[in-house]
Amino acid sequence: MDPEFIRPTRSLEGRVAVVSGAGAAGTGLGNGRACAILLAEAGARVICADISLPSATVTADMITTEFGPSRALAIQCDATSESSAAALATKTLEAFGRIDILVNVVGIAGAVGTVETVSMAEWAKGMEVNVGSMVVMGKACVPAMAKNEGQWRGSIVNLSSVAGLRGGTPSLLYPTSKGAIVNLTRAMAAHHAGQGIRVNCVCPGMVYTPMMSSPTSGPPMTPEAREIRKNRSLLKTEGNGWDVAAAVRFLAGDEARWMTGVILPVDAGATCATSTDVPGVGSGT
């Protein structure tokens, strides 16, 4: 066997991962919290970053309880603030000496309405949080990644949404901002490939997260609404943060070392078809 053909490993041992939006409501399982836990499970030391330090601390405590006291650190960070993100990077380097992985999870539903009704102030805020935060976090973390040794020096995974691929949601802001993340990812992949940094994107479908029942996100989702969402996919099952995090962990690690600029839907088949209940699909005809 060619000695250069090094078998990829699933282990993230020795890697340091920064997860923005690593908190969640209470002890619930949001996408960011699930990502932080699965990266730690694979061996990484994880910075749990969130604008809410108590929320980030819950995630870090979950990790240290299961995997050891030195495996996670909670840091308060406003991902839309360059100074806050820069301070996060500095604290990460002081604590763990390097940055290998950045997972950008921060996002909000944001402004409601169409072009006729949307508040431009809320629109600007939504774009700042959903898209600008990824630029800010990349600006803070890429220089440290570029200093790592080896052919593959860093990995960035951005979270978008199937709404960014298909649109079709009631409000203008959410699908627009999530669609921007898709091409942001492709641009970043091209810009940083020469530095040995891969950049990929995960587009979750209608997964159930604590945001669905948070009072700050509107009325809690009813069981009937959850059932309707579930049945919109081919698999007719409900996904959760673990499903999203498993895809993120794969893209973050060496098994995806030859993948960059990839846009990966995690949606139970929702983006390839709306249903198998149509003539000629799955019927053998």
Q: How far apart are CA 188 and CA 178, in angstroms?
A: 15
Q: How far apart are CA 215 and CA 6, in angstroms?
A: 49
Amino acid present at 148? N
Kindly tell me the burial class for residue 106, based on how many C-beta atoms sit within 10 Å of its own C-beta (0-12, 13-18, 19 or more). Answer: buried
Q: How far apart are CA 61 and CA 74, in angstroms?
A: 9
Question: Which residues does 217 contact at the CB level (< 8 Å), separation at least 6?
Answer: 109, 211
Element (H, E) at 212: none
Ordered DSSP codes for 218-268: SSPPPHHHHHHHHTTSSS----BHHHHHHHHHHHHSGGGTT--S-EEEEST
Question: Which residues does 114 contact at the CB level (< 8 Å), separation at least 6?
Answer: 171, 172
Among the listed residues 96, 123, 152, 174, the single catalytic one is 174
To the query of whether residue 208 is one of the catalytic residues in this protein, the response is no
Which residues are known catalytic residues?
174
